[in-house]
Structure 1
Amino acid sequence: MKLILKLISGIVIGVILGLFGFEWMIKSLLTFKDVFGEFIGFMIPLIILFFIASGVSKLGNDSGKLVGMTVGSAYLSTLLAGILAFFVATILMPFVASGGVIPEESSGLAGYFSFEIEPVMGVITALVFAFLFGIGMAKLQSEYLIRVFDEGKNIVELVIKKIIIPLLPFYIAGIFAELASEGTVFDTLQVFGIVLVVAIVTHWIWLTIQYVVAGSLVGRNPISLIKTMLPAYFTALGTMSSAATIPVTLKQTKQNGVKEEVANFSVPLSATIHLSGSVITIVSCTVAVMTVLDGYSVPNFFTMFPVIAMLGVIMIAAPGVPGGAIMAAIGILTSMLGFSEVAVGLMIALYMAQDSFGTAANVTGDGAIALLVDKFTSKLKS
């Protein structure tokens, strides 16, 4: 919650400076925005590389069917959640905002200077590299390389926690100072609240679908199953981390009748790979940003489906820190949808404002995944 308050403060300060500040103050903030935006772009391939490679290397060769069912169920849930979010957002967003209210590129003040920080590799290259080495390390059980990628993951996570997250409010302030100086900020802000409500409502629609399916398969009341998982939901609201909520998710999942050996495996794995709530938010915010920004048009389903499919894969790169999912997703948004710096800044602000709700939807859905895996493993054994 402290981070959300800081981000809101950044938005308020940016708007005030953009409307009433001295020119040198605005230009200083825009300079920081430009430089920090380059740094974020530099870090994205490293986030993808180290987090995916490290995560895949832990899958190993044991309990292949259990791994396959958990990974397959989690990915299918994430994919279908993204598709649901796309249709909900494309139906509602045109009623919320009219297109072309925000200039795509700055036509007003600019920073004092800017420079380019070239990433060490492209997003797709990092993704292929990560899976290649992750699968190879899992098969060969290469302890040395696993340690190397684990240490790289720790370094990248440290950068996210100590540099990117603390400085995000200033970056967001720069984005909104630019919008305010151009006279378009209030068109953006009036969309924000509605987008967040749409995303949260879609979370609960998808959670209901998940537990209706799981409940029908295991012969249990879905409302009772969701009620049991509520402690995990509210814990995630406070921690904003799927990983930090694992103990509570595990406890509540077992209370729902999932066998201990299945819960002990599927819940920690799902905390890493099942991010349906996060994808719902990213897709909802993507449609909203493309609706209000000049120069964009909301893509059709066949254009958006590959993006949603890639988000389902790249979410494995989301670390257990606030904002990890959107940091990993920026590469997809820029490479596949052509998002500019303004679009990326709005995405970060929108996503971070409800990160805790997306995380809560993720971990609550993990309980449904565990129920499905438990049912399937029981059938296989019988």
Structure 2
Amino acid sequence: MIDRSRSFRAPSLVVQIVIGLLAGIVLAMAWPQGATAVGLLGTVFISALKAVAPVLVLVLVTASIANHKHGQKTNIRFILALYVIGTLAAALVGVAASFLFPSVLNLKVAAEAGMTAPGGIGEVLKTLLMQVVDNPVHALLNANYIGLLAWAVGLGMALRHASAGTRTLVGDLSDAVTWLVRAVIKLAPLGVFGIVASLLAESGLGALKGYLQLLYVLIGAMLFMAFVGNPLIVALVTRRNPYPLVLRCLRESGITAFFTRSSAANIPVNMELCRKLGLHEETYSVAIPLGATINMAGAAITISVLTLAAVNTLGITVDLPTALLLSVLAAIGACGASGVPGGSLLLIPLACGLFGISNDVAMQVVAVGFIVGVVQDSAETALNSSTDVVFVAAAEQARGRG
């Protein structure tokens, strides 16, 4: 007898997202007014992800540490090392791409009003430190994941000495929040449909024609890092074929991140992917939100490429030691980029300062970044967010866990 329930299974979430993407494109071309209206679906989806992500991080990390079993390793140090190596490698790729395919900008656009860039690395590091000691309520309201991690670790360590009943209650609360997250993630196809339809209907891609060379360098460097750089790092670490893992992370994390354009909003998606990969909750519950804050390969590429585009425009000569210093500066600055759309762009004036470029000119470069951000920021976030899962899974595989 034929089991009809198996014959009519719903397509996977990735397939549903692709269907939503195609439907959004068709609607934008056929009925722009309607496409603009359905943009509300995308706004609601992104808002729901951003709303649940801070609570998920606080509760899940607290529960994981509170119920952590003695003798069970979490590989956090190893994962942090991979984050640093990946971000620095991405900055080097961005610098190399800029030397091979130099870009020139038209710096006549008006700088974005109301934006302030950090004055130096010291200011970036001070900001990170102040995020660690942030008020927990303020951290929740402002999605400060560094502060939430600090409080969650502290609460988790304290609750390890609580009664078994209390620790079970915290675990049950974590399961409840995780259930809510999965419910939100199921809305991804509708969210992508609304985002794509409204984006194409309102702005289109015509404004990007003057910056195609710059986009080619940015996207090319990010694709190289996604399909060559990251797989090479994973292969060296795990001694396995890296592409099954890398491609799955790009498919199940990168696609969603591409449209949400927020590493922070993609935290719930990455948590769910880690669960499906069979990774240890004690590891990914801490490593994923941490990666959304400091693992910024795409941001490092953006900072280095746009900075060197400004340098080329102004005719400044760059020697090898300065280029290497820019790579390090871009990697450190990328760690201070916020996990929101356009977060990396405000770090460009910091890198421009290395070449004596004035803040007025640097902020015009930032404005160019916002113009190309329709594509650049999406690709950057997809690389950033998918790489978080890639490195967490690679660390567990390297230690014989995956």
Sort the TM-score into its range (normalised by shorter chain): 0.5 to 0.7
Name 1:332's counterpart in structure 2: 350
1:233–1:360: 8 Å Cα contact kept in structure 2? yes
Residue 234 of structure 2 corresponds to which residue in structure 1? 214
Alignment of 1:68 with 2:80, yes or no, is: no
The 1-side partners of 2:329 and 2:142 are apart by 21
Q: Where does 1:98-109 land on structure 2 (aligned, <5 Å)?
A: none
Aligned residue in 1 for 2:280: 259
Distance (whole Å) between structure 1 residues aligned to residue 352 and residue 323 of structure 2: 13
Structure 2 residue 261 is matched with structure 1 residue 240: yes
Tell me the SS of whatever aligns to 1:319.
coil
Kept after mapping to 1: 8 A contact 2:306/2:348: no
State the Cα distance separating 1:207 from its structure 2 match.
Answer: 1.5
Cα RMSD for the two superposed structures: 4.0
**Offset at residue 256 of structure 1 (A):** 4.0
- Say whether residues 1:288 and 2:309 are aligned partners: yes
Question: Deviation of residue 81 (structure 1)?
Answer: 0.8
Matched AA of 1:372 = A
Taking structure 1 as reference, are residues 205 and 263 closer, same or farther at Cα in structure 2, changes over 3 Å only? same
Question: Structure 2: which amino acid aligns with 1:369?
Answer: F
Aligned residues: 266
Identity rate, percent: 23
Which among 319, 330, 351 is matched to residue 300 of structure 1?
319
Note if 1:80 corresponds to 2:102.
no
TM-score w.r.t. length of structure 2: 0.55
Query: What one-letter code is carried by the residue in structure 2 that aligns with 1:359?
Result: T
1:22-41 maps to which residues of 2 (within 5 A)? none
CA deviation digits over 1:143-199, x for unaligned, max 9?
xx54598489679xxxxxxxxxxxxxxxxxxxxxxxxxxxxxxxx987611221221
Alpha-carbon spacing, 1:378–1:349, altered in 2? closer, same or farther (3 Å): same
Tell whether 2:244 aligns with 1:224: yes
Q: Which of 368, 371, 374 is the matching residue for 2:393? A: 371
Greater CA drift, 237-246 or 312-321? 312-321
Q: Against the structure 1 CA distance between its residues 257 and 151, is the aligned structure 2 distance closer, same or farther, given a 3 Å change threshold?
A: closer
Letter in 2 for 1:336: L
Instruction: Tell me how far apart the structure 1 counterparts of residues 117 and 221 of structure 2 sit (CA, whole Å).
Output: 37
Q: Does 1:194 align with 2:191?
A: no
Looking at structure 2, the residues matched to 153 and 71 of structure 1 have their Cα atoms a distance apart, in angstroms, of 24
Q: 2:124 aligns with which of 121, 124, 127?
A: 127
Instruction: Tell me how far 1:240 sits from its aligned partner.
Output: 0.4
Partner amino acid, structure 2, of 1:307 = L
Q: CA deviation at 1:130?
A: 3.8
The structure 2 residue matched to 1:310, chosen from 329, 337, 345, is 329
Q: State how far apart, in whole Å, the 2-side matches of 1:289 and 1:89 are.
A: 11
Cα distance, 1:220 vs structure 2: 4.4
Cα distance, 1:298 vs structure 2 = 4.5
Give the one of 351, 357, 363 matched to 1:344. 363
1:134 offset after TM fit, Å?
A: 6.2
From the superposition, tell whether residues 358 and 213 of structure 1 become closer, same or farther in structure 2 (CA, over 3 Å). Answer: same
Contact 2:264 2:339 in 1 (8 A): yes
Q: 1:336 to 1:226 in 2, by over 3 A?
A: same
* C-alpha spacing 1:303/1:148, structure 2 compared with 1 (3 Å): farther
* 1:352–1:337 CA distance, 2 compared to 1 (3 A): farther
- What TM-score, normalized by structure 1, do the two folds share? 0.58
Q: Is there any run of 5+ residues in structure 1 with no aligned partner, and where?
A: 2-57, 111-116, 138-144, 156-187
